[in-house]
Amino acid sequence: MKHLILALDVYERERALEIAEETRAYLWAIKVNWPLIIGSGASIIGELKERTGLPIIADLKLADIPNTNRLIARRIFAEGADYIIAHGFVGRDSVRAVMEEGETIVVVEMSHPGAGEFIQPVTDELIALANELRPFGVIAPATRPERIAYIRSRLEEGIKILTPGVGAQGGSAGEALKAGADFIIVGRSIYASDNPRESARKIAEGL
């Protein structure tokens, strides 16, 4: 079972395809975020999927009214995305609009220091929302493994935990998995390294 997700936060199409092909043997999925979509267009989703055969997660962190979330999600799933990441704090109706279009992952906490200001205080409510709506998974921070353990203890079985914050942001992949994460998301430590293939191999084999 593979546990590693590559956060492919580069702008250029060629570079993205090159890194994806070099590292795909070690990955469960590839996560595409705004930098790559802005730099290369949404069609990069289908292209990455076709070239690698891997699931594609569109990390758009959707946080709009239900109709706009639906319009965006429909188009991004049509491009070939297998999962979309959406914010939960905008409410059940907005999350449901994405879930009606395809597999959804809900942010319940974030890895950066500012997450302590507004997101962390409502994590319990966001976990309750996930338990009620049962998305594919939730995002929880590898920078705070104790929070992963807390979220795991409250989250219903079968809902996956995907965790960014490993490497460049200081989190440890091993600790995150031990705390209950199902998948580790790594960006800069792979795509910005001198040898992305080797970096991905080392991280994947250490999991």
Give me the active site residues, please.
61
Q: Which residue is nearest to ligand XMP (CB)?
A: 187
15 binds ligand XMP (CB under 6 A): no
Residue 188 or 201 with smaller CB distance to ligand XMP? 188
Q: Binding residue for ligand XMP (CB under 6 A) from 141, 147, 177, 199?
A: 141
111 binds ligand XMP (CB under 6 A): yes
What is the rounded distance in angstroms from the CA atom of residue 47 to the CA atom of residue 79?
9
Please, which of residues 25-44 interact with ligand XMP by CB under 6 A? 33
Identify any residues that bridge with 104 across adjacent strands, giving them in sequence order.
84
Q: Binding residue for ligand XMP (CB under 6 A) from 56, 72, 138, 139?
A: 139
What is the rounded distance in angstroms from the CA atom of residue 136 to the CA atom of residue 41?
26
Among the candidate windows 19-27, 47-55, 103-111, 193-201, which touches ligand XMP by CB under 6 A?
Answer: 103-111
Amino acid (one-letter) located at 67: N
Instruction: Write down the least CB distance from residue 15 to ligand XMP, Å.
Output: 15
CB 189 within 8 A of CB 168: yes
Instruction: Determine the distance from the C-alpha atom of residue 118 to the mean position of all C-alpha atoms in its chain, rounded to a whole number.
Output: 20
What is the rounded distance in angstroms from the CA atom of residue 207 to the CA atom of residue 204?
5
110 binds ligand XMP (CB under 6 A): yes
> Taking Cα atoms as reference points, which of 26, 35, 30, 23 lies closest to residue 45?
30
What does the block give as tokens for 118? Answer: 């507004």
Task: State the virtual CA torsion across 148, 140, 189, 112 in degrees, nearest 10.
Answer: -110
Q: Binding residue for ligand XMP (CB under 6 A) from 7, 36, 72, 106?
A: 7
Q: Binding residue for ligand XMP (CB under 6 A) from 169, 174, 198, 207?
A: 169
Q: Binding residue for ligand XMP (CB under 6 A) from 10, 62, 107, 127?
A: 107
Question: What count of other Cβ atoms lies within 10 Å of the Cβ of residue 149?
Answer: 16
Binding residues vs ligand XMP (CB under 6 A)? 7, 9, 33, 59, 61, 85, 107, 110-111, 139, 141, 164-165, 167-169, 185-189
